[in-house]
Structure formats: structure tokens, C-alpha cells
Structure 1
Amino acid sequence: MFEKIEHMNEVSSDEGHITISLNSYEKAFTDVQQILEFTSISLVVEGSGHLHIEDQVIPVKHGDMFIIPSGIPHTYRPHSRRQDHALVVYKCLFNAEILRDWKALLPVGSKMVEIVYKPDKCTDRWLHYEDRHNIFFEMVQKMYSEYLKRYTGYEALLVSSLVQILVMLQRAAMNSENPTTINKMEEIIQFIKCNSTQNITVQEVAENFYLSSSHFQRLFKRTTDSTFTQYLQNIRVQKSCELLISTDIPIYQVANQVGYLDMKFFHALFRKKMGITPSQYRKNQSR
């Protein structure tokens, strides 16, 4: 069930209307997904819960920030109906038209440009960031205050603050040497190694680290130069090699212990990675 939102309060200016609004929401457990006709920047400022977006459910907590283009059904919900499980979200809604004169400030072909100006052509359905140092929280809070007070010139401040947020988010996304990114990838890789024998999926790992699947896969590929599936297969084959050398258990048990029940697939994968069959590998190592 979706609720389609096509209108919102507009900020008036001398030249007409600037389509932008700032709101703070305490989300309810029963909230339905909304289809907005505006680009949305949302920031979780209190509590934790889930972002229900299209057919995905993403765990969220304080500091999670999402840019969601128009037409994508989504809503936030707390973990439960209990009052002590509050989930508060700041949301900025805007029409890309108000940023037409600022487009040159963002790198051509960047995900930010695509998600804001060409959402129908963007391969990513949304963008996710983490505000670990409350930098964006302070900026959004000031925007919200300006929106409520509406002092003289607040329209210009809202738009300039929005541009500043987009530029800073794009800068953060381009900074592949960000220590936060490196630390998170180290945690992710360790998690995969510890759980490689389990039936783990991209979606499960991404949700465990509060990332969207698309963002996780881009980050993982950029860091390891391999896909999640390739990396997991390499770990499992490496472990199977260790078992083949150090034990005399049957090959089907080796396959089972590293996470494969399909023996035909295991044999094909092992031969692809190692160039020989598991039995040949064991025989060669025992010489």
C-alpha cells in the first residue's frame, strides 16, 4: 500500500516559489510507504529502526543519511510500537529545478548529479551516507530552524545550505581514502571471513553494516577489486585446500564444511580456481 504525495508547502520568494521544505518526523510503526514527487534528503537523528524502500528493508540508526529521488516508494519505521522505541527523522524535500544554476558545482557523471537531476537514468535507486561526526546533523538542524522562523533572506540560506550539503556529500563519496570507509571495509571483510561457511548473501552483509546493497557492492569492488561472490568463493576454496591437506575426510565433507552442498558446483568451482580437481590437489600435496 502506497501513499502518493504530489504537493508540499512552497517557500515564497520575490520571484515566485522555491519548492523546498524541511520537517522533523517521529515515525510510527504503522506508517505506509510514500511515493514523493520530490527529491528527499533524510537524516536519522534519534533512535533506530528500518527504512522500507521499494521491496527492501534496511536497518537504520542515528546518523544514517539517504538521498532518495522522486518516485521511489519509502518510509521509516521504528523497531516496534513501544513509545520508548522512537525513531526521529529530519527530511528535506526539494525540486531539482531550484538547483539548476548550481549543477556545474557537482562533477559531471557523478552519482550525485544522476540521482538529483536524472533519477530515471541513474543505476542506483538511492544513495546512503553516514554522518558519524554530526556534521550534517548540525547543517540540517540549522536549515530546519531557518525554515520554521522564516526570517528575511531565509530562502537563499535554505538553497545555499542544500547545495553545500550536496557538495560535501559528493566530496565524501569521492574520498576513497576516508579512514571511516577503510575501517568499515576491514570490519566487513573480517565478518565475511568469520561467516564464510554460512549461507550469507550480499543483502544480509549490507544490512548488517547499515548499507544499501548497491552502495555495499560498489564499496566492496573498489576496495577488494572483486565482487562479493568472487571474494567469498576465493575464501571457501582456500579453506577447502587447507582441509584437503590437513585432513583425510571425504571430499564431500570438505565441500560441506566450507559452505557447499552441491558437489557438482564445488568440483567445477575448485577446478576453475585451482586448475585441478580436489582429489588431484590432495594427491599432489601428499607426495
Structure 2
Amino acid sequence: MKLNVNDFFSNTERAITTELRTPQDNFPEHSHDFQELIIVSQGSGTHVINDIPDSLEQNHVCFISPQDRHLFENVDNLYLSNILFRKDALSLPAGLNDYLPQGYSDHKGWHISNQAMQKVSHLIQTLDTEVHQPQRDSEWMAQALFQQLIVELHRGKLAPLEHASMDDKTLQVLDWIKANYHQEFTIGEVADQFQLSSRTLSRKIKQITHQSFNNYLHQVRINQAMQLLQYSDLSVTDIAFKVGYSDSNYFSTKFKKLMNKSPSEFR
């Protein structure tokens, strides 16, 4: 499915528009001829970009370029703010281009702090009002608000651990899990590393992702396994070891529980 500028922008002179999904339903794979920033305010779901699945939760931000394909599935009360823009039509001050994502990174986006999210939410509400006004000055106001938005998204990335709030530490844990899913660790070890109690971390992860610590870890590992099953010649056993499972039978059991098919059937 190819989504076009004419389907979403009120006229060809507009550089920015918004699509607020409250909630976002499952949506099939598509691409579009404009850029998009996706900002998650609540809920959870799976976001598959170029066949690579990633878990979405609150305060998650990601960038989609016209070269990307993506879809949403397994959504659970997922609230998204989609900021659609035409980069070639933007009027940006010198240097501000550096704040715009240049492509889809290996980290599949980033999290912002709760404090930054409050500022971003206010900007999005105002931006959503301006982009749907017909006056010419609303376009300039929208561009000014968009500039503020991309700066807030850039500098709102999570602070160093020693300055982070409890919620922000939990978001840092989720980022850490996505980077270290292949290792063996317990919730207690991770909680100690991020200066949280196991009970607090378990409760906060459940609150943010709607999953337990272990289920979230399994989801991240299975997401990585799906990519390897599609794009590598590794055996199922080797893939199990590579994504953090020491027992390939256990890996197959968890995979089938989440995907309703075995790793071999998925491949």
C-alpha cells in the first residue's frame, strides 16, 4: 500500500500535517512519499519496519522515511501522534537540519523523558490545531512549532542514570534490554544496575508495556529471531543461542506461543 501526499496534506504548499491515532488500530504494511515522525503517548504494540519487528511503548519516538515499509500489529490501547512532513518543502534555519533524523537507525528510534513528553504533547496539540487551519499564517506557525518539536525530541532523550527519574530509569531499562537481549540476566541484576528495586522495576515495566519483565524480554528475543529466520541461513538451534536461549526446545516453545507457529513454519 502506498500512501500519497495528496491523501493527507490539504494542499501542495503545506509542508506539515498531523494524524493523531487515539487509539491506533492494527494497520497493514505500507509506505509513503513523505517523512513521518511517530510519537507514542501510551499503550503498546509491535511496529514492523522493513520486516524488522520492534516493541512500542510510551515515550517511544521513531522516524519513517519514504524508503521504509512499516506496519502495526498486536496493538493494545496504543496512542500515536503521527507528524507527517515533506522535508523538501520545509523552511529550516541553518543547522536545524542536523536535528532531523537522517534515516532509520539500528536502535529503531529512541525514548524521551517524561518531562520532555509533557512539552512535546503540548506542542503536538497546538500543531494539530494550526495544520488544519486554512490561513496562510497557520502554515508559518506550523513550521515554527515543528522546529520546536524536533528540538524537544532531540534534547529530550533520556538523561544520564544519576539524574533520571524512576519512570525514565524504567525506559532506560527497556532500551538496555533491546541492546542486551542475547545475554543471560535476571530482573534483580538489571534492577541493581539501574538503581531500582526488583519489585519497582517489575511494576513499572508492567505499567508501561502491559507485559511482565520476562514476557517483554521474550518478545524482544523473538523479534530478533524473526529477523534471523527471514534473513539468515542459521539453523533454528543457532538462532536460539544467538538471541539468548540456551535450550532450542524452550526457544521453539516460546516462539510458537507468541507467533502461533514454530520457527521452522515461520521460516
- Please classify the TM superposition score into its range, dividing by the shorter chain length: 0.5 to 0.7
Show CA shifts across 1:32-80 (max 9, x none): 111112111112234332212221222223332222222211123353x
Contact 2:113 2:159 in 1 (8 A): no
Corresponding residue for 2:80? Answer: 89
The residue type equivalent to 1:65 in the other structure is V
Which has more radius of gyration? Answer: 1
The number of equivalent residue pairs is 191
Contact 2:119 2:152 in 1 (8 A): no
Contact 2:111 2:171 in 1 (8 A): no
Structure 2: how far apart are the matches of 1:164 and 1:27?
A: 25
Identity %: 13
Change (3 A) 1:129 1:69: farther
Structure 2: how far apart are the matches of 1:182 and 1:103?
A: 34
The residue type equivalent to 2:138 in the other structure is Y
Change (3 A) 1:102 1:193: same
Contact 1:106 1:167 in 2 (8 A): no
Corresponding residue for 2:127? Answer: 143
TM-score relative to the length of structure 2? 0.55
Contact 1:22 1:91 in 2 (8 A): yes
The residue type equivalent to 1:162 in the other structure is F
Change (3 A) 1:60 1:123: closer
Q: Secondary structure at the match of 2:31?
A: strand
Q: Please, which of 105, 118, 129 is the counterpart of residue 111 of structure 2? A: 129
Corresponding residue for 1:51? Answer: 47
Structure 2: how far apart are the matches of 1:138 and 1:259?
A: 43
Change (3 A) 1:136 1:78: farther
Deviation at 1:98? 3.1
Q: Give structure 1 stretches of 5+ with no counterpart.
A: 80-84, 197-203, 214-257, 262-287
Structure 1: how far apart are the matches of 2:105 and 2:57?
A: 25
Contact 1:54 1:72 in 2 (8 A): yes
Corresponding residue for 1:7? Answer: 5
Show CA shifts across 1:139-194 (max 9, x none): 11211122234456211121111111111222234955652565655674899531
Instruction: Name the structure, 1 or 2, with higher relative contact order (CA <8 Å, separation 6+).
Output: 2
Corresponding residue for 1:155? Answer: 139
Q: Please, which of 165, 179, 182 is the counterpart of residue 164 of structure 2? A: 179
Corresponding residue for 2:67? Answer: 71
Q: Please, which of 6, 24, 27 is the counterpart of residue 24 of structure 2? A: 27
